[in-house]
Structure 1
Amino acid sequence: MMNTPLTLTGLLNRAERYFSKKEIVSTTLSGVQRFTYGEYGKRTRRLADALSKLSMGKGDKVATFAWNTHRHLEAYFAVPCTGAVLHMVNIRLSPEHVAYVINHAEDKILLVDEDLVPLIEKVQSELKTVEKYIIMSDKDTLPETTLSPVYSYEELLKEADEEFVFPEDLDENTPAGMCYTSATTGNPKGVVYTHRGIVLHSMATGLADSLALSERDVCMPIVPMFHANAWGLPFASVWFGTKLVLPGPNMTPQAIASLIQEEKVTLTAGVPTIWLAFINLLEKENYDISSLRAVVCGGSAAPKNIIRAFEEKHNVPFIQGYGMTETSPLVSLSTLTSEMDNISLEDKVDTRASQGLVIPGLDVRVINENGDVPWDGKTMGELIVRGPWVAHEYYKDERTKDTFRNGWLYTGDIAKLNDSGYIQITDRTKDLIKSGGEWISSVDLENALMTHDAVYEAAVIAVPHEKWQERPVACVVLQEGYAESIKDELVSYLSSQFAKWWIPDELIFMDEIPKTSVGKFLKRALREKLGQEMTVE
């Protein structure tokens, strides 16, 4: 067989050659802009030429600090296709962590969206390796800034060569991109993605029993392009010639619903908090979302009431995915097999609420102190993963040895497998509650609470207990129109579903539950707050 290298250059070449008239829709601060893949290819080559003239070389790190727009998509290919490495910096990290990841990655050039410039200005004195700043803006003139030396993205492109030729000798194992974990504790950890890994991950995205992404789709990644490659959707969409809709900085439920309606989006992806707000909007206002063939959800477990609303009220399949920054990120999807064609709505919702089947190309196991757990839907253990788009180490980080062992990624997620091999994440190892020697799943309790009409969000944590070691406490945000007098009803609601010793000892009502930069519940903050305030007796 031919030893043809799997590089991102091949993905871009295909889009230019076969889908030059297909469209990319980009929402920026000034409004909606439209480009064909032919125009996109020329702009991407101009960017590669401009960055090369600014001394970007093979192996150099180039950072983006940006929203989901066409310019970010241009950097997705212009940087790695020249042999450099694109570092997508999470704009929602704390200033301390933003400075840390840029310095740790040793970023040489930083591309930043105009409205995000103030965030970089706050940390510029701490940035040790950045030599040049490029501001991405629709305006003809640069904004006033303390960043120096600073360049205009569009002015650089005007002076660059649209026929720039990418090197043909790139090894497929060359690093192409990197992201850092969102870090609930300690400093973020860097994950490097190779050309080969991204290409294979993109191929898996198009499989019929995966997301079945194709040229016929209109794909809108709401998940940020600075988070785990936007779940790989930008790379796969360019390769397949999929029409891309990039929602930019204004990702309100109304803006999302309008783009779905106007652009006839067929596939979209985001975290549960996005879809919770979206469903609440659809209860109040009318939007045509009939073009959707699937909604993809990830980042954390989606409440069943959201799944039921999409499947029953709007007839839109709701696919829950599981993955990590370390896995590029797709590991599994809650797609339905042919055996499930005639199952009830409730069984369908239960299946969709799982993390699903591992996608082709990867291998997973669930292990505990006794080895591999039985597929009984009950026995819990840690989920471990291996495969060609799974990282094998953290970038220059001694924590590698704790996570990557014997050729496997130890995810830190506690899971169980049903008799069909569907994965059900029950908790993080650090979030499991051990009460009287028995394990309680905070995720199961949260999901149950969020099926009640009165509950908007719920997070369950462990609080120290003098007798039982730990006991669960539920932090609850109520829907509009409900009061704290609902507390007894919520306890009764849980009591009908769980053993008595699982029921939280306290329900604490809050206006908002703290979240990480990617929308996950920040349980560390809850534990610190409540741990100082209470010990259950």
Structure 2
Amino acid sequence: MQSTMADGDLTIGRLLRYGGTVQGRGTVRTWTGADTRSETYAEVATRAGRLASALRSLGIDGDQRVATFMWNNNEHLEAYLGIPAMGAVLHTLNIRLAPEQLSYVVNHAQDSVIIVDATVLPLLEPVLPTMDSVRHVVVVGGDPATLEAPAGVTVHGYDELLDAHEPQTDWPALDERSAAALCYTSGTTGDPKGVAYSHRSIWLHSMQVCAAQTMALTARDTVLAVVPMFHAMSWGLPYAAMMSGASLVMPDRYLQPEPLAAIMQAERPTFAAAVPTIWQGLNAQLEQHPQDISHLREVIVGGSACPPSLMRAFEERYDVPVIQAWGMTETSPLGSVARVPSWAEGDEAWALRTGQGQFPASVEARIVDDAGSVLPWDDEAVGELEVTGPWIADSYYSPDGQSDALQANFDDGWLRTGDVGRITPDGFLTLTDRAKDVIKSGGEWISSVELENILMGHPDVVEAAAIAIPDEKWQERPLMTVVLKDGSSTTTEQLRDYLAPHLAKWQLPDSWAYIDEVPKTSVGKFDKKRLRARFQEGDLTVEHL
């Protein structure tokens, strides 16, 4: 039997028309250091149309890649919408990538144009001569004449370029399965890998972000988007905001605890999203300079496991619930959200909140053992998590076809996440480690995440990261690296005693090192690769109990 439903492609152009009209009173506000500059979504739609016309004048007439090297701000939202709506592909460049990796991803994607914030021009200028495909650079918020561009590259001012063109409004009909945006993984091992999101996958993902099961965004919300727009598409928040009518507050480059507190005081957002290190820093700021943040109905935390002690601190001190989520660049990034169902109470509810949450309907998941056999959802079997679904990648972008090395990350249509964990019969995920970070002692696994989360509940511990180090008897044992609060006199024995009630005796670390800060990746996660390198190079003073 044939359906009687009308058809219509799910494209960013369609979303832009909707956001600029039906949700046109919503706003995007960018922090300047003292206050905000604001645009309505109707104005954003007009400027996105001007950007599309301007890019056509620069030769963008198909699915060429247009890169952004920008913080979270009004202009970046205009690019998020205008570039894919016109049929080109938005490529978000990670500001924190090493120069050689930045050059690699631009050349790999064959970017034709780069739109860059003037504040990060010093990061782009030295590597621009190595970017073979770039023909135009568009400077936002500064004098384009300050950029010394190599031969063959023309530099433009963003506002001047837009002012010279009438806005495009007749967005082309596009295949909803064609690429809309390109985002590269952070490249902690090997070269970064490109994930090309389709118009359809962005639409479906945005609908799920708006849903009550996940982030429950509505036109009554004001969203503080701390998670960078160059990291996993800002967790889908810019597109979901246009879809729901929720207003956006953009922090630009002001991501430190003090300005984030000032932004909250001035703008009073109802919802915010960021990695755990951001919330740890804000918590320390609020301890020193208290202020009311109860205007936040909740915050979403992801990127790495959130210490339960931090979740408790926000709820007990500030009356702000912290909701944990899991995802990856390859999952658009929403994979699961830890919302507690009505039937769970007390300790059971807390256990669900401190896990990675339940899978939405569009995400299929399984766990497999080392031999590739699928394991049961019984909350006991532990294996590598694999996922698939309409917003999950089933390959990486490659201009010359897929290499065997890239394809190794996929298993017959399933994404191999590299995360290790278990799943309850009703689909609640608990991750115990990254596969590369698992500590295998005497044939038994020790969860580095569990060690870290427990220890970071100690009042004198600022950060803690566990890595595996070689052991003659047990093959591997955990090394606990710790950052203590200034002036703390807490001893290693006291920290070990703090862990003892929560772990089996054989799981307790007997090697400890004290450091000034746990190294971070370009997206704010603990960089254990660098910790392992420091250990191998003898750069850590290790105390053995």
Same fold (TM over 0.5): yes
- Alpha-carbon spacing, 1:390–1:527, altered in 2? closer, same or farther (3 Å): same
| Counterpart code for 2:351 | D
Q: Give the structure 2 partner of residue 297 of structure 1.
A: 301
Q: Secondary structure at the match of 2:343?
A: helix
Counterparts of 1:247 and 1:348, CA distance in 2: 33
Matched, 1:218 2:222: yes
Equivalent position of 1:474 in the other structure? 480
Instruction: Give 2:267's aligned residue.
Output: 263
- Give the drift of 1:216: 1.2
**CA-based RMSD:** 1.7
**Residue type of the partner of 1:450?**
M
2:68 aligns to what?
A: 64
Which of 40-49 and 30-39 deviates more?
A: 30-39
Maintained 8 Å contact 1:45/1:165: no
Find the counterpart in structure 2 of residue 359 from structure 1: 360
Instruction: Supply the AA of the counterpart residue of 1:145.
Output: L
- Is the 1:28–1:69 contact (alpha carbons within 8 Å) kept by the matching residues of 2? no
**Unaligned stretches of 5+ residues in structure 1:** none
1:410 lines up with 2:416 in the alignment: yes
> C-alpha offsets along residues 36-91 of structure 1, whole Å, 9 cap, x if unaligned?
11111111100111011111121100000000000000000111011110000000
Partner-residue secondary structure (3-state), 1:309? helix
Match of 1:175 among 172, 179, 186: 179
- Any conservation in 2 of the 1:68–1:224 contact (CA below 8 Å)? yes
The aligned residue for residue 314 of structure 1 is 318
Aligned to 1:205: 209
Correspondence 1:460 to 2:466: yes
Q: Distance in 2 between matches of 1:455 and 1:486?
A: 11
Distance 1:128 1:29 in 2: 36
* 1:336 match: 340
Mapped partners of 2:374, 2:498: distance in 1: 34
The aligned residue for residue 380 of structure 1 is 382
1:143 Cα deviation from its structure 2 partner: 4.8
* Counterpart in the other structure of 2:43: 39
- On the 8 A contact 2:52/2:167 being kept in 1, the answer is no
Give per-residue Cα distances to partners, 1:69-122, cap 9 Å, x unaligned: 000000001110111100000000000100000010100000010011111111
Match of 2:161? 156
> Which amino acid in structure 2 is aligned with residue 446 of structure 1?
E
Comparing 456-465 with 154-163, greater Cα deviation is found at 154-163
Post-superposition Cα deviations, 1:346-399, rounded to whole Å, max 9, x if no partner, equal 544432221000122111112224833344433210111000001111111523
Contact residue 109 and residue 131 of structure 1 kept, 8 A: yes
Distance 1:260 1:204 in 2: 26
Distance 1:37 1:426 in 2: 41
Which position in structure 2 is the counterpart of 1:166? Answer: 171
Q: How does 1:81-96 map to 2 (within 5 A)?
A: 81-96=85-100
- For residues 445 and 537 of structure 2, the distance between their equivalents in structure 1, rounded to whole angstroms, comes to 23
Structure 1 residue 163: deviation in Å? 4.5
Question: How big is each residue's C-alpha offset from its partner over 1:312-355, in whole Å with a ceiling of 9 and x where there is no partner?
Answer: 22221211110000000000001111112xx23x5444322210
**Which residue in 1 is equivalent to 2:515?**
510
Gapped regions of structure 2 (runs ≥ 5): none
- Give the distance between the partners of 2:159 and 2:372, measured in 1 at CA: 59
| Residue identity in the other structure for 2:276 | P
1:443 alignment partner in structure 2: 449
Provide the residue aligned with 1:53 in structure 2. Answer: 57
1:27 to 5, 13, 31: 31
Q: Separation in 1 of the partners of 2:7 and 2:422?
A: 39
Alignment of 1:242 with 2:243, yes or no, is no
Give the match's secondary structure for 2:391. coil
Contact 2:26 2:219 survives alignment (8 Å): no
Alignment of 1:489-508 (within 5 A): 489-508=494-513
Q: Are the equivalent residues in 2 in contact too, given 1:472–1:505 (CA < 8 A)?
A: yes
The one of 137, 140, 144 aligned to 1:133: 137
Give the SS at the match of 1:377: coil
For residues 10 and 174 of structure 2, what CA distance do their matches in structure 1 show? 9
1:283 Cα deviation (Å)?
Answer: 1.4
Q: Select which of 143, 146, 149 maps to 2:148.
A: 146
CA gap of 1:429–1:163, structure 2 versus 1, over 3 A, is closer
Tell me which residue corresponds to 2:530: 525
CA distance in 2, matches of 1:155, 1:30: 25
Task: Please identify, of 525-534 and 102-111, the stretch whose mean Cα deviation from structure 2 is larger.
Answer: 525-534
CA distance in 2, matches of 1:257, 1:351: 29
Q: Does the aligned pair in 2 maintain the 1:27–1:248 contact within 8 Å?
A: yes
DSSP-derived class of the 1:79 partner: helix
1:411, CA displacement in angstroms?
0.5
Q: Which residue number in structure 2 is paired with residue 97 of structure 1?
A: 101
Aligned match of 1:7 = 11
Deviations 1:125-169 (A, max 9, x none): 2111101100011x5x435121241000000011111254221x2
Distance of aligned partners of 1:202 and 1:101 in 2 relative to their CA distance in 1, 3 Å threshold: same
Residues 457, 158 of structure 1: alpha-carbon distance in 2 compared, 3 angstrom cutoff: same
What CA deviation, in whole Å up to 9, does each residue of 1:8-47 have, x standing for no partner?
A: 1111111111122222111247852111111111111001
Aligned length in residues: 530
Which stretch shifts more, 366-375 or 200-209? 366-375
* TM-score for the superposition, normalised by structure 2: 0.94
1:389 maps to what in 2?
391
Distance 2:496 2:34 in 1: 49
Cα distance in 2 between the residues matched to 1:20 and 1:222? 23
Aligned twin of 2:281: 277
Amino acid paired to 1:367 = V
Pair 370,243 (structure 1): closer, same or farther in 2 beyond 3 Å: closer
What SS class does the counterpart of residue 78 from structure 1 fall into? helix
Q: How far apart in 1 are the matches of 2:477 and 2:213?
A: 40
Question: What is the match of residue 113 of structure 2?
Answer: 109
Supply the AA of the counterpart residue of 1:300: S
CA deviation digits over 1:196-245, x for unaligned, max 9?
00000000011111111111111111000000000000011012111111
